[in-house]
Structure formats: C-alpha cells, structure tokens
Chain A
Amino acid sequence: MAETMILVPGRSSKQGTALNKGKLKPEYLLVTSTLEMNSDDMQRLGLEEGDSVRLSNEVGETVVTCKGRKPEDLPSGILFIAYGPPSSQLMDGDTAGTGMPISKNIEVLVEKVTVKNI
C-alpha cells in the first residue's frame, strides 16, 4: 500500500544536539533517518512504530524509520523529518533561479518496506 504525502524536512533540537557530536556519528544518522508521521496515517498504511518506509519521488528514494505523532500535532498527509542525508536524496537540484532548492513540502510516495533491511 502506497500513498502520496508531503514531506517537510526541518530542524529538531535532537538533531541539533546530535550534530555537535559529529555528523558521522550514529546519533546524527539515527535522528536524520527518523520520519514522523500522523498516527492515523500510519495505521491506515499498516505501519507500526519503528517500521521501515520507503520515500520516493522522481529525484530519488530513501528508506527511513517511522515514528507516530498524535493527529492534533501533525496533520494527516504531512511527514516531518530532520533534514540530512536521507532527505537530500529526495531534493531536486533546480532552484528556479533563486539559489534555493525546494527543501520543504516535497511530494513523496510513502510505502511500507516489508523486509526490514536497515
């Protein structure tokens, strides 16, 4: 089962503290590959806390771990992730003449990864 949703990479304070340790350290890699998702959406997609999901679009794809958020905190259809190497895989290089790639509100296809491969 797959659905199109809106991915919003942003900063989180966990990411901020982890990056001080070093961006190649496990803490940082973990925090930037954790996807927050509306818990109702997760249920609909048959996802459980800690499941792997594949995010993909015409640019690329990445596999991340999902974590539920209460519907009142995260609207249905919106995904939050601390920006980092996984979110880069989905960002288009075109800046429409501004220098800024579209880095928030990226349309992605979300699907459950059946084999836990990470």
Chain B
Amino acid sequence: MSENIKIVKNATCTFCGCVCDDMELTVDLDEKRIIKAKNACVLGRAWFAEHTIGDWPVAMIDGKEVSKEEAIEETAQTLVKAKFPIIYGLSDTTCEAQRQAVAISDIIRGTIDTTTSVCHGPSGLAFQGVGESTMSLGEVKNRADLVIYWGGNPAASHPRHFTRYTVTPKGMFIPNGRKDRTVVLVDIRKTPSAPVADLFIQVKPGKDFEVLWALRALVKGKNIDPSIEEETGVSLATLEDLVDKMKNCRYGVLFFGMGLTMTRGRHFNSGAIMALTTDLNEFTHFVTKPVRGHGNVTGADNVLSWQTGYPFGVNFNRGYPRFNPGEFTTVDTLSRGDADAAMFIASDPASNFPKVAIEHMKKIPVISLDTKQTETSNLAHVAFATSTYGINTGGTVYRMDDVPITMRSAFDSPYPDDEEILTAIKKRVQELVWAKQGIKIAVGEARVA
C-alpha cells in the first residue's frame, strides 16, 4: 500500500441493479486500485477489488495490437459495409455511452438490443400488455408491511436488496423495521434467500403462471378447486392464506425475478404478476417490480425508450425505429443467421447465449468493447479494452427502480471509456454513410445529438 491514498465517499456500485450509492472507497492512487469498499456487499467488494488496470492492449484486430484510431476505422467500415449489423449489450455502461450506441444504430440503419431481451424482456412485453403499479425502492423501505419475492434470489444476486431497501430497514411508517413486515418467498427450490422469509412457498417448476392465475381468481372471490395442489405443488389453504395477507396489508409489494421470465410462460408470468398487483389495488395499495440485474440495464431501457419509443429489440432498417421482439432481439438475429456484423458493448453473449447463437457469432465480424477479456472479446475481429464505469469514469446509471444516479470516478484509467470510443465510431460512420449517399454536410451541422 502506498502513501498516495484517496477516499471517495458516496460512490456508486454498479455490479447489480441495486446501484447502492453509499460506497466509501479507499483508493491507492499509485497502484491504481481500490483497496477497500466500505458498505459494499460480497459482490460489490469483488467488483471494486478486481477492477484494476489490465495489461491488454487498448485495441486489437484479429488478436494483434493496433492503434485506437485504426480500430475505430475498421469498426466503422465493418458496420457500414454490413447489411444487417447488430449492436447488443449496453447494460454495464453509462447512459452517455448508450445514447451514442443508439445514434450509431440510427445512422447505419442497424439493429440495437440490450441484455434486457434475455433477462426481463418478457416483463417489458408484459408491461406493454397490462401496465404495472410500481414504486421507487424508498417507498418499500418507508411503507411496505408485506414484501413478497417470487422467482428471485436476492441473497445471491442482489445481496443488499433486503438490508438497504426492503426487509430490514426502518422506514417512515415502518418504525420497527423487520418486525413490522411480513416477508414471503415463492420459488421452485429453497434458495439462499429462504432464511429471510417468514413464509416459503415452493412451486413445481414451470407452474408459476397457474399459481398466479389462481391467486387472481381468489382475489376476485372465485372458487379454486383443491386439485391446484397436485398441479402446482401449492395447497389451496396456502393460497387462501396468501390472498388474505395480500388483501389486508397496508402497502404490499411483489418483487419478481428471472425465475418467472426465463421459464415456461415468460411474459405471461410477468403479466400475471402485474395483473394480480393491479387487481389488489381494489383492496389496498399494492405495487410490483422486477428485480433488474446488471448495473445499468434499467438505464439502457430508458435511453432506448426515449430515443426510439421502444425499450429493446429495435431495428432502423427503414430509416425509423421498429420494434419486434423475436425478430430484432439478439438471440434471434444470431440464431437465424441474419446478422452479418455485430458490436457487443459491455456484455459477453459468447459465454451465456444459446449454442446456435454463439456458433453464428464465430462466422461474422464481431466488435467488442469490454473492460476485461471475455469469451466474446476472444472471438472478436476488433476488440476494444475500455475503462470501468463508476470506477474510472463518472456518468449516469439508473437503479432498478428508474432512479438515476451520477457516479463518481475513483481513479483514472489509461483506457478510454465506452462513450469516447462510441462517439468516435459515430462520427466516422456518419461520414461514411453521407459519402456513400453523396450528401455534403459537415458533422456538427446536423444530427447534433
């Protein structure tokens, strides 16, 4: 440890969607690393400790080191040449970088999609179908006397969700914290989150929709046949008890995870939980919220929505945004073999997409921007190494409840940030597209955003 130590208070952790902004970072400026992250959870501690300065080149083409400028030129040429270029990722970068990525898609008439499509994309579709009664997390802290988690495991994925926002904190109308709340967990297995709950309800895999629909019926006073237990693993008495709790609470909340969106039913499951929440508002105040994942996936939804009108899976091929999940979403454009060039920003689809999609990635020119080397950067034609948001750069991130927060930088990185690279690519693709169309306009006169 050197003498050159800096403390950064109220820094923001962007590892998960909790986006806790109460970090106190101890930074060794000589060694360029964070040696302590006070208030961080186990995931946050790893996030801050492991994001040191790497030893790989800023830019590589086919595995060989090149200058940043050469890589930008090659990227622009590749994207403009392609007939069906796709841009994907964006959940682990700033809104400022996301804005540039959408602009590139607009200019090259490409397709843009975010990791939303493989996490809560189905919840986005359900939202478009039925709407949602929801809240900022502080309302849960201040008011919620009934907290239900469904198909999510915050203890592993969002460790401070319980302690900072939803279960243990004391709030304005919850003076005794945990004691004033009833906590319920619904899942197919007893996850590490189960010990937090007063009540654990185990559902048979793939039967969430049936349970949710039965709850809607019970809330509306309809009869449910006891055979529901055989079908779903949950007894009628358990459901009736849960309905009773829900109708009689003062402020209830249903959080749900990818246990609903990634399985049989997908958007129907999310829609059922949103509709159940709406139904309950006839009796009391009730809200719901998907427990979103990566640091700024919620920002990606917001930026795409305000720039295009649609939250993910957007195609500009006709010169204006079109939205069609299943057609313009990334698993599909890759699995079908439509994409003929891909730029992956701050995500690693090569390590978690379906096999067929990964196989197609290997056949097309891929451009990657990431802070670390990944399966995706390994197969990339052009690979940029960028600095880490919230550690080396400021900028804006959105918490899972759409609350925007400005990050503080802890120490400088020799690597450029995503926004810088994407802005340079944007300028270059604009020049190339105009040259191709014979349009003579100086960059800066037009399309100022």
Contact = CB atoms under 8 A, between A and B. Distances in A.
Q: Is there a direct interface between A and B, measured as CB atoms under 8 Å apart in the complex?
A: yes
Interface of A: 6, 8, 10-13, 16-18, 20-24, 59-60, 72-75, 78, 80, 83-85, 87-105
Contacts of A87: 352
Contacts of A11: 153, 156-157
B429 interface: no
B262 interface: yes
A23 B374 contact: yes
B53 to A, nearest CB: 13
Given A59-B355, A75-B189, A24 B378 contact: yes
B44 to A, nearest CB: 9
Interface in B288-347: 312-313, 325-327, 329-332, 334-335
Contact of A13 (B122, B192, B354, B372): B192
Contacts of A80: 189
Interface of B: 15-16, 42-43, 45-47, 49-51, 113, 117-118, 121-122, 125, 153, 155-157, 159, 188-190, 192, 202, 205-206, 258-259, 261-264, 266-267, 312-313, 325-327, 329-332, 334-335, 348, 351-358, 372-375, 378
A40 to B, nearest CB: 14
B355 A105 contact: no
A93 B331 contact: yes
B141 to A, nearest CB: 23
Given A20-B49, A99-B313, A101-B354, A13 B42 contact: yes
A95 B262 contact: no
Contacts of A99: 113, 117-118, 121, 312-313, 325-326, 329-332
A69 B156 CA distance: 16
A80 to B, nearest CB: 7
A101 B122 CA distance: 10
Contacts of A89: 355
Among A10, A21, A72, A84, residue most surrounded by chain B Cβ atoms (within 10 Å): A10
Given A23-B374, A94-B335, A95-B331, A104 B118 contact: no
Contacts of B378: 24
A84 B358 CA distance: 12
Nearest to B360: A93
A84 B375 CA distance: 11
Closest 5 CB pairs of A and B: A99-B329, A93-B335, A97-B326, A17-B46, A93-B356
A14 to B, nearest CB: 8
A97 B118 CA distance: 12
11 contacts: A11-B156, A13-B159, A17-B45, A21-B50, A23-B375, A59-B356, A88-B354, A89-B355, A95-B331, A96-B326, A99-B117
A8 B189 contact: yes
